[in-house]
Amino acid sequence: MAFRLRIGSRPSALALVQANAIKREIERLADGIAIEIVAISTGGDRMTSASLARVGGKGLFVRELEEALVDARIDIAVHSLKDLPAVLPEQFRIVAVPQREDPRDALLIRDDREAADDREPWQALERGARVGTSSARRQYELLRMHPDLAIVPLRGNVDTRLKRLADGGFDAIVLAMAGLKRLGKIDALEGIKLYPLDESNFVPSGAQAALAIEALRTATIGGSEELATIIASLNDAGSRAEVTAERSFLATIGASCVSPVGVKGTISSEELALRALLFSAEGTAQMADNCVTPLSIEDGKLETIARECGEALGKRMLAAGARALIETPSK
């Protein structure tokens, strides 16, 4: 049977790489399908310099794509899952979460700034070193480990950020490993050393490195139940369990898309481990906690267990004062 499918995506290079990866997977599974990628500029794409916290958070990267779903201009939308709010509006659903990429953050340092010793790379940065990031979470996690760094705002696409580092505007920058890998940058770095950061001290954003295929809750994708089943088969159960725990935690504590919160689930054959690290808006206070939940692989149980794991850790941290911490107003 011939299918037609319209995939909505942001127009950035990374977003289009991600959308095309989903396109190729669907084409592999659905013979003769005609797929169009519809690039839709979002509010977040148009605001290249303003702080996301001031202009509405990362929800700005999904609003226009969801409007296109409602208006039937696209059949599905491909998002970086970390850009979606922890609780979706009722009219939308996540059809699939494909296998997650490397969720770690990475510290990138110019070769001429690298210290020749056995310390961790962030420890080797001298006092006052200029480190670029516009993420409050990344800023506070760095300063938690190395209080003498000078954190400097840095926005723009991956190429822009790498160029500013190479040109000497920064001593180091922090980027997501997943974006670097998907864009093929890992093996193309010149004059720059890359160091993945450990997930215990540098806890990633909830759902970092995961993609979400979003659709309307009530509509049949592309007018075909068969096509909907094909797209749903792209779901990776382990990845979905990890991000379900993370998003459940964020929803439980009431974190917004720009709250300085890191949360990472790690699934194995026997357990789901979840670690959270959160900060006050100004980074002056912090709280961390972990939980481990035994797993059942019974049909329909894994996602439920993951959701309950995130909720349990969230409630425990709320009881310890997490809400007051994340609701501390920023000056």
Q: Which residue carries 């794509």 as its tokens?
A: 65
141 against 41, higher pLDDT: 141
112 against 110, higher pLDDT: 110
- At 14, which amino acid appears? L
Query: What is the C-alpha to C-alpha distance for residues 96 and 94, in angstroms, rounded to an integer?
Result: 6
The CA radius of gyration of the chain, in Å to the nearest whole number, is: 20
Q: CA–CA distance from 170 to each of 51, 129, 141, 150, 262 (Å)?
A: 19, 8, 18, 10, 24
- For the chain, domain boundaries: 1-98+210-235, 105-196, 236-331
Catalytic residue (choose from 31, 71, 75, 83): 83
Q: What is the pLDDT of residue 330?
A: 55
pLDDT at 95 over 80: yes
pLDDT at 114 over 60: no
Model-wide pTM > 0.85: yes
* Strand 211-216 versus strand 76-80 pairing type: antiparallel
105-196 is classed CATH 3.40.190.10: yes
1-98+210-235 and 105-196, same CATH topology: yes
Query: What is the C-alpha to C-alpha distance for residues 35 and 43, in angstroms, rounded to an integer?
Result: 25
Domain 1-98+210-235, what fold? D-Maltodextrin-Binding Protein; domain 2 (3.40.190)
Q: Out of 1.10.1060.10, 3.30.160.40, 3.40.50.10490, 3.40.50.1000, which CATH number does the structure's domain 236-331 have?
A: 3.30.160.40
Report helix angle 13-29 to 158-166, nearest 10: 140
Q: What is the mean pLDDT of the chain?
A: 90
Strand-pairing partners, residue 130, are 150
Active site residue 117: no
Closest C-alpha among 215, 209, 257 to residue 236: 209
233 against 297, higher pLDDT: 233
Q: What is the pLDDT of residue 300?
A: 61
The size of the chain, in residues, is: 331
